[in-house]
A and B are shown apart, each in its own frame.
Chain A
Amino acid sequence: GENVEQHPSTLSVQEGDSAVIKCTYSDSASNYFPWYKQELGKGPQLIIDIRSNVGEKKDQRIAVTLNKTAKHFSLHITETQPEDSAVYFCAATFGRAGSYQLTFGKGTKLSVIP
């Protein structure tokens, strides 16, 4: 079935350094790849997304890259700040007709050390 693998499961970086989280997906028909940030006790919040007609998208300190041939996409956070500490989830929508739900990775707990 549809599957999204996410690595690493935990990541610690010094404030100001960059953080990279990688995901792979199984369905080559996938065409939408959002990234969510979830803080303790809150619902997931969209931080950036990418659609399959582009290879890279950037929004201030956050960027996402997509390699459809290899079926993987990555989140890059530059100049990390303590408030970036949270759990990050990648997700994908799959190609089954009438299927609009997201399939999520298992999450990456990012800790930014001041």
Chain B
Amino acid sequence: GAGVSQSPRYKVAKRGQDVALRCDPISGHVSLFWYQQALGQGPEFLTYFQNEAQLDKSGLPSDRFFAERPEGSVSTLKIQRTQQEDSAVYLCASSLYERRQETQYFGPGTRLLVL
């Protein structure tokens, strides 16, 4: 079946603009994760959803970052008043169940550049 998809693939924003990044997980996957990957670094956790419930948002760097998954499938990561330090690749991953040893499948990412 189809994998995790993300849109847009690339986004250029002027400092201070709001952006919205979309993630379509694999159909039927209960768990959804957002990660941020800076250039030359490994992905870093932002937030986790189990169905529509946001159970962990400990990785969100500031209150300018907001994520939702209202119907337990598609998720949106919103960044308000973007700053240059927000420039990164934003990765979405999903897994079938909510178990710690569950495989996470990643999407291609959205590359955000804030000018």
A and B: bona fide binding partners: yes
CB within 8 Å of B: which residues of A?
Answer: 4, 6, 31-32, 34, 36, 41-46, 49, 51, 89, 91, 93, 98-107
CB within 8 Å of A: which residues of B?
Answer: 4, 31, 33, 35, 40-45, 48, 55-56, 59, 91, 95, 98-109
Q: How far is the CA of A4 from the CA of B98 in the complex (A)?
A: 22
B43 & A31 in contact (Cβ 8 Å cutoff): no
Residues of A within 8 A of B107 (CB): 43
Closest chain-B Cβ to A44's Cβ sits at a distance in Å of: 5
Chain B residue, CB-CB nearest to A106: B42
Residues of A within 8 A of B103 (CB): 34, 46, 49
Closest chain-B Cβ to A21's Cβ sits at a distance in Å of: 13
Residues of A within 8 A of B98 (CB): 100
Q: Contact check: which of B31, B44, B48, B106 meets A36 at CB < 8 Å?
A: B106
Contact status of A43 and B102, CB under 8 A, knowing A104-B42, A104-B43, A107-B42: no
Q: What are the 5 closest A-B residue pairs judged by CB atoms, nearest first? A: A104-B42, A43-B106, A101-B45, A32-B101, A43-B108
A31 & B101 in contact (Cβ 8 Å cutoff): yes
Residues of A within 8 A of B91 (CB): 43-44
